[in-house]
Structure 1
């Protein structure tokens, strides 16, 4: 048993005068039914950036370019007795959308562009505080990237 290395993608855009972030609803355990940033496990031989691009495409149908890492952290989920059920080491990456057509794909039951104001100020989509913090950091870094 070892931690599973994974990636998360913070894909931001400006659309109709509002800031939006790409979100997916998880279709599989763990966290099935919850909203999160797109991402998943890194495959053997893949770089973090390659895994990020692949996961976003698989889950949302969108093509992205990785800009830079935002944060690295652990997600450790335990059962009622305290035994570790899942341990992920996640690298969240700031990404820019490059093309494709938005649709839910592998491991996602839905994919949407969500208002960052709704997500961060009104709690829409019920993201974790960590996900909201990562989105805020990505927004700060994306200023001036075009």
Structure 2
């Protein structure tokens, strides 16, 4: 199943995360993202998902990586894109299938319960600040 994710860093280098309200990953922190709708481009899908889940507008940049996530009877084929905030002063507000949204710094990332292999994958792609 075609899906997208957004790797959004603010000016302080903090990563935008949402806590998932629904499966897969209910209750876990992850980057904003979700399914690509029929006829929708990957770029349009990632911008829409960020807006729906956090209320933030982003400029979608280059692909940073791809990952396959097994689900209940389906495999999610996720393409993650680097994104920048249209308004660097904007703060996330949870919506859609996110019940919380934050910008997380290094200390926060270590204490939050993220989806399996999220931080390891992002670090491996060079998508997180050192």
TM range (shorter): 0.7 to 0.9
| Residue in 2 that maps onto 1:81 | none
- Paired residues of 2:25 and 2:115 also in contact (CA < 8 A): no
| Residue in 1 that maps onto 2:86 | 98
Choose the corresponding residue for 2:105, options 79, 99, 115.
115
- Paired residues of 1:23 and 1:112 also in contact (CA < 8 A): yes
Greater share of residues in strand: 1
Q: Cα distance, 1:117 vs. partner?
A: 4.4
| Residue in 2 that maps onto 1:7 | 4
* TM-score computed with the length of structure 1 as normaliser: 0.78
| Residue in 2 that maps onto 1:89 | 77
- Unmatched segments (≥5 aa) in structure 1: 78-83
| Residue in 2 that maps onto 1:130 | 117
Greater share of residues in helix: 1
1:45 paired with 2:45, answer: no
1:34 paired with 2:28, answer: yes
Choose the corresponding residue for 2:128, options 139, 142, 146.
139
CA RMSD of aligned residues (A): 1.9
- Paired residues of 2:69 and 2:78 also in contact (CA < 8 A): yes
* TM-score computed with the length of structure 2 as normaliser: 0.87
| Residue in 2 that maps onto 1:80 | none
Q: Deviations over 1:42-89 (max 9, x none)?
A: 011111111000000000000001111011121013xxxxxx533100
Moved over 6 A (4+): none
